[in-house]
């Protein structure tokens, strides 16, 4: 371990190491899934923060870590802006860098506050930093409509720490991960005095997560349901091209016609025209398939109720009364234009880029004998918003079109977010996507899916679930309260010698 004195004298090296640690942490998330890096990278950042000579230097260290984390982890924003949005490469690169720099302000703020407010190592590492980082991730998912991507907890989906998710959501997993990272740092930094208790604390945290994971928070409800998820694999550059419209409809009709599923799910904007412009005969044929199977089809389609008011929606066709869900949490610039930014549309060429937002009070859809909590693409990353339809909902369904991000990190990261939503609510999550990853995610986060960028139908049997996890009942309130209490304790207690 590099000494703090050595790092203090070589600040540019410390900043480079912070950037490298942030970039390395990305490998802890999907698709690589090297989850130990989601613990080791924070431990490295802790060491670099404690080596910083003052709060300003600690803020710069956090900023450098954030640039590495977000610059690599959300590099797919460039793909969306340039390749599919038509933005010139230099402007797209600058916009992506600027976006990542804004996101990096959150770890910079954590670095500044932990150095400015707390003095001794133990309080900072074991209490203050985990609490501040958790609060910063929550704020990042809320301020300016939020961007909760790459929350630390997502990388820990395949570990015992995911057992904290049904209790406090992804941010509870984040808090546990940063606690473990801090304990690991103490064990390495104080091998004589701190090794025993620090390792014991890390093991105890992991063991508690494993114990919570074994609790049956929900129970099966109803008979197994035969489902089919359709992945049309329509390239984004063809999706809104009228020359390919007939082919797109034929693809989904063929995939649906061959299915005997009671619930058939098609992706976001699977039918790339407004609902009132789609041939009634085509919709009637889809509905006939659903009626033949004794169930329903759920399909993504843009829908308008006025010439200048339209929604990113999902509608049902079949034996149940026709129902719809309108996307609530829209993507800035991709699905709506913030006031004063209309000029952006002169640079970007994104179809249907000014949707209206659906009502947040929408209830689950009663289709195929289940209560389905629907989300559309990006809004699945906002855990508390999914809870609006729970505990009434027996199953979660997400319709997506992540073809906007090409063959990048985004589709696999989005699938991992879906895994977390399943674990938090202890319900099956069905993800139907245009180009992947289409998958059936079990309540424990394990999944079965089809390869990306191939035209395929995923058939399976799933069972609805009833009941409510603590997270379903309380949302993020419990973990946020705990983080605030930890900060209060760090301010009042002294658990180690001063630096």
447 is a domain residue? yes
What's 442's domain CATH number?
A: 3.60.110.10
pLDDT in tens, 177-209: 999 999 999 988 876 666 788 899 999 999 999
358 is a domain residue? yes
Shared domain check, 367 and 240:
yes
β-pair partners for 448? 440
Determine whether 216 is an active site residue.
no
498 is a domain residue? no
Find the catalytic residue in 137, 268, 379, 384.
268
| Helix 55-73 / helix 89-117 crossing angle, nearest 10 deg | 140
Shared domain check, 251 and 177:
no
pLDDT at 333 over 80: no
Give me the number of domains the chain comprises. 2
pLDDT at 113 over 50: yes
Please state, in angstroms and rounded to a whole number, the distance separating the CA atoms of residues 133 and 61.
Answer: 14
Determine whether 279 is an active site residue.
no
pLDDT at 147 over 50: yes
448: left (phi over 0), alpha (psi -120 to 50) or beta: beta
More confident residue, 415 or 84: 415
Please state, in angstroms and rounded to a whole number, the distance separating the CA atoms of residues 489 and 486.
Answer: 5
Query: What is the overall mean pLDDT for the chain?
Result: 92
Shared domain check, 441 and 397:
yes
- Counting Cα atoms < 13 Å in the Cβ hemisphere of 408 gives 17
Q: What is the pLDDT of residue 194?
A: 63
Shared domain check, 398 and 349:
yes
329: left (phi over 0), alpha (psi -120 to 50) or beta: beta
β-pair partners for 201? none
pLDDT in tens, 469-497: 999 999 999 999 999 999 999 888 754 44
pLDDT at 343 over 70: no
Determine whether 126 is an active site residue.
no
The mean pLDDT value for 279-300 works out to 98
Please state, in angstroms and rounded to a whole number, the distance separating the CA atoms of residues 454 and 320.
Answer: 31
pLDDT band of 123, cuts 50, 70, 90 = confident
499 is a domain residue? no
The mean pLDDT value for 415-430 works out to 98
The mean pLDDT value for 395-407 works out to 93
Shared domain check, 128 and 155:
yes
Shared domain check, 237 and 186:
no
Name residue, tokens 């999944």. 447
Length of the chain: 499
Shared domain check, 380 and 308:
yes
Q: What is the pLDDT of residue 135?
A: 98
Q: What is the pLDDT of residue 499?
A: 46
Q: What is the pLDDT of residue 342?
A: 54
β-pair partners for 141? none
pLDDT at 345 over 70: no
| pLDDT-above-70 percentage for the chain | 94
497 is a domain residue? no
| pLDDT-above-90 percentage for the chain | 80
Shared domain check, 368 and 292:
yes
Name residue, tokens 């605030």. 484
Whether 339 contacts 307, CB under 8 Å: no
The mean pLDDT value for 335-344 works out to 60
The mean pLDDT value for 354-377 works out to 95
pLDDT in tens, 62-110: 999 999 999 999 999 999 888 878 889 999 999 999 999 999 999 999 9
129 is a domain residue? yes
Shared domain check, 140 and 251:
no
Find the catalytic residue in 100, 327, 335, 371.
327
Shared domain check, 339 and 205:
no
Q: What is the pLDDT of residue 86?
A: 82
344 is a domain residue? yes
Domain that holds residue 94: 4-215+476-492
Q: What is the pLDDT of residue 144?
A: 85
Element (H, E) at 460: strand 456-466
Find the catalytic residue in 239, 371, 377, 424.
377
Shared domain check, 367 and 301:
yes
Chain center to CA of 234: 23
pTM of the model: 0.94
pLDDT band of 348, cuts 50, 70, 90 = low
More confident residue, 1 or 113: 113
Shared domain check, 126 and 31:
yes
Q: What are phi and psi of 481, to 5 degrees?
A: -65, -40
136 is a domain residue? yes
Q: What is the pLDDT of residue 496?
A: 46
- pLDDT-wise least confident of 5-19, 91-105, 127-141, 375-389: 5-19
Structure tokens at 145: 């409509």
């Amino acid at each position: 371990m590099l000494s703090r004195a050595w790092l203090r004298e070589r600040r540019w090296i410390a900043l480079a190491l912070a950037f490298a640690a942030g970039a390395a942490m990305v490998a802890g998330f999907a698709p690589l899934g090297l989850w130990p890096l989601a613990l080791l990278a924070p431990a490295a950042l802790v060491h670099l923060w404690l080596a910083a000579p003052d709060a300003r230097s600690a803020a710069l260290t956090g900023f450098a870590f954030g640039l590495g984390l977000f610059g690599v982890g959300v590099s797919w924003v460039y793909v969306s802006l340039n390749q599919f949005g038509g933005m010139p490469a230099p402007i797209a690169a600058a916009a992506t860098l600027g976006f990542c720099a804004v996101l990096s302000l959150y770890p910079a703020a954590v670095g500044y506050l932990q150095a400015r407010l707390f003095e001794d190592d133990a309080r900072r590492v074991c209490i203050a930093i985990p609490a501040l980082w958790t609060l910063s991730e929550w704020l990042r998912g809320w301020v300016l409509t939020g961007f909760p991507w790459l929350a630390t907890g997502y990388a820990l989906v395949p570990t015992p720490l995911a057992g904290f998710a049904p209790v406090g959501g992804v941010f509870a997993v984040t808090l546990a991960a940063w606690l473990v990272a801090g304990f690991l740092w103490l064990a390495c930094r104080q091998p004589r005095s701190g090794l025993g208790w620090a390792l014991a604390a890390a093991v105890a945290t992991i063991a508690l997560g494993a114990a919570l994971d074994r609790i049956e928070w929900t129970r099966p409800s109803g008979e197994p349901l035969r489902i089919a998820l359709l992945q049309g694999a329509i390239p984004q550059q063809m999706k809104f091209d009228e020359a390919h419209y007939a082919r797109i409809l034929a693809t989904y009709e063929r995939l649906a016609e061959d299915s005997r599923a009671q619930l058939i799910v098609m992706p976001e904007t699977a039918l790339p025209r407004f609902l009132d412009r789609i041939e009634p005969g085509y919709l009637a044929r889809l509905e006939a398939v659903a009626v033949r199977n004794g169930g329903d089809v759920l399909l993504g389609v843009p829908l308008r109720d006025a010439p200048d008011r339209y929604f990113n929606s999902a509608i049902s066709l079949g034996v149940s009364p026709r129902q719809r869900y309108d996307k609530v949490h829209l993507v800035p610039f991709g699905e709506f234009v913030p006031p004063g930014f209309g000029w952006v549309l002169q640079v970007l060429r994104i179809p249907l880029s000014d949707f209206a937002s659906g009502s947040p009070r929408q209830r689950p859809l009663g289709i195929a004998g289940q209560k389905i909590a629907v989300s559309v693409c990006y809004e699945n990353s906002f855990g508390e918003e999914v809870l609006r339809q729970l505990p009434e909902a027996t199953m979660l369904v997400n319709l997506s079109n992540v073809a906007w991000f090409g063959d990048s990190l985004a589709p696999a990261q989005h699938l991992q977010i879906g895994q977390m939503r399943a674990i938090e609510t202890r319900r099956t999550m069905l993800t139907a996507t245009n180009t992947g990853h289409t998958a059936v995610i079990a309540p424990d986060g394990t999944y079965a899916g089809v390869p990306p960028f191939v035209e395929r139908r995923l058939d399976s049997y799933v069972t609805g679930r009833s009941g409510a996890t603590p997270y379903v009942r309380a949302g993020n309130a419990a973990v946020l309260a705990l983080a605030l209490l930890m900060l209060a304790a760090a301010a009042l207690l002294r658990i180690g010698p001063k630096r």
